[in-house]
Structure 1
Amino acid sequence: MKTKQITAAALLAAAMAAQAAPSVGTDATQSTETSDSSTLVREKKMSIDKSNSKSKTISRSKEHARERSQEQSASKRKSKEARASKSFSKDVNINGMVLAEFVRHYEQQIPSAGQPEVVRYFATCKPLTAAQRDYPTLNAQTPPVSVGDLFRDNAVTGRGSALPMTVSAMRSVGSAFFQGTAENYPADPHIPTISRYAQCRMTASSWIAAAAEKVSAAPVHDVSEIARNIATAFSAMDADPQLFISLRQQARSDWTHAQCTPWLKWQGDYRGPEIDCGVFEFKGDKFYVNRRETLSESAIAGASYKIAISSDQSTSSSTELASSTTNRVSDSDRNGLTVDASTEDRQSSSLGKTKSSTSGDNSTYRDGSTNSINATPVQQ
């Protein structure tokens, strides 16, 4: 619905204008319009699609091959070989080599303050080269009155510095001090000359055995290499002061169990070493520490250290002549046929249906009026 109205506002404007103009005209119009509209639409649609497909493929392949191969080979070989070999092995007793290096490395040195303690010790007591020179001997021109006299300074000393007994003293073998035979006098392990002499050689036995253990464990190819290893072993041990201290203390501890038989002699009665103190012995030309022979080529601390050296030499020559001939013939024939067939059937149908209806109502009402006024003033 729609409504329109026009007012008479223009009448006022016209009246105001009439006062200034000689003639005045006024029109007024009023209009009313009413409209109603209504529409209804109905629609119905239906669609159906249908499709069928069918496919078929046929493939066939046929192949024919023929191959022929022929090979002929001939080989000829001639060889000549000559071999020669030489091998040998030997066991080297290194005890003597170790003792000789010990003398060179230690006993031939002059003790000095800058040397390692072990070098100064063995350079002073010289367990091998001073074995006869420092052998404990009675140092008096007359027999001692009592056993206590043996503990006086220089009452017992090495053979190299001992005083010879006088002829009159030798005749007095029936003195009260005499025990056992005329050749032997009591030996106490606490006498400094005896204890120092024994402990020096007991320590040397352990020290040399430790070096031999190191050397015998290393593989070598010749004797000169063994000599180098021995020198290297002693040098390495010199740099380990704790090792020397432990072996030195072990010798002191063992010597506390020493019990000596009478074997002391006068310098003039010496006929050969006869030291027998249990833990240390020196008889003839052999040393024994804890009843095991030591400090000799035959044994060091009861062991004979040996190193096996072996050498192999071989010469081989070979001559070989070879020739080979190969003939090969190959023939190949191949035929092939391939057939592919394919068929496809496809059906498709579509159905659509649409239904539509429209209904409506429309009405319009109009109403209008017009007024007109025209005034002309009169002039006098």
Structure 2
Amino acid sequence: MPARPDTDQFQQLFLHDIPLMDVRAPVEFSQGAFPQAENIPLMNDQERHAVGIRYKESGQEAALELGHSLVRDSIKSERIAAWQDFARRHPHGYLYCFRGGLRSRLVQSWLAETGLEYPLIQGGYKALRRYLIDTLEAEVARQSLVLVSGRTGTGKTRLLVQLPKQVDLEGLAKHRGSSFGRTLEPQPSQIDFENALAINLLKTGTQPGPLYLEDESRLVGRCALPLSLREKMARSPMIILERTLDERIDIILEDYVVNMALAFQDRFGQETGFAQFSEFLRDSLARLRKRLGGARYQQLDSVMVEALESQASRGDLTGHRVWIHELLTGYYDPMYDYQLANRQGEVLHQGSLDDLLDWTASRPSANALTGL
């Protein structure tokens, strides 16, 4: 079988989730990579650092000589074996380094010496990243957006994921967007978030109709929405999900108390997990201390402590409904009303989850929906 050629067909790589072997050092990978990439480095962080110093002091030839002396014998054999394993698991994949230069070509040549021809990405990580930056800007400009809005606790994500064409910003950021929005999974780096967002926009760009996004602030946790997207969202039309206050309390109780407690206990064990869940919940409230004011914060914290004690000792969740009710009516709802009153975008429709699903299903096209 003839060897596959190296590629610069970046769109196809991302549209089809082609597996990618990233041979950069782990520290480079942690700063930014792609969802379908696996890090199997040519050099570890220490080796890369030493080679970089040698390059600055003595030039490329001396740096290459040091690199070969560091990655040899059993170390070289282990790394080649890992590359071979990836290539055999992903016969249609590609490899890359930072610029598609020395490191990726060295990995390619070492694999070829074993009889395994494996193609690389021309331009490497830098070219892929540039493509996604340009793609993100182009798709934001091109696509018609409709925001899913609603008060805290209405379950906007539950609606969003049922819509025909959507991108879940909170899912990509691994954060639910509020002071209580952290999860047990670490948030991605800003670059990883942007890369994943660009890929999702690229994929949805092939589908008809408007793109639905949850109405988010500038930050989703620590992940910042790109400026062009924020500006377009600020003037985009919206649909508003409505639920009763009791329904919203039920949703928050399920998502942020019951499910989070179970997640902590599954991860850390029942006793330690509940202790860490309690700390998580109280720390989330503490993040609002300045906005709530000292007296109101202390009162809510006391209610929360009692609720946690009742939950731990008797499985009684009633106390949690008290602080949730107070936060919704005294903090989140007034803030939402103020923000909605200052929005530019038109309200296209509002109603229950079923109402909005029926309404979105009846829309014939992006142009008919948004007028954009």
Tell me the TM-score normalised to structure 1 length.
Answer: 0.20
More helix by share: 2
Bigger share in strand = 1
Whose radius of gyration is greater, 1 or 2? 1
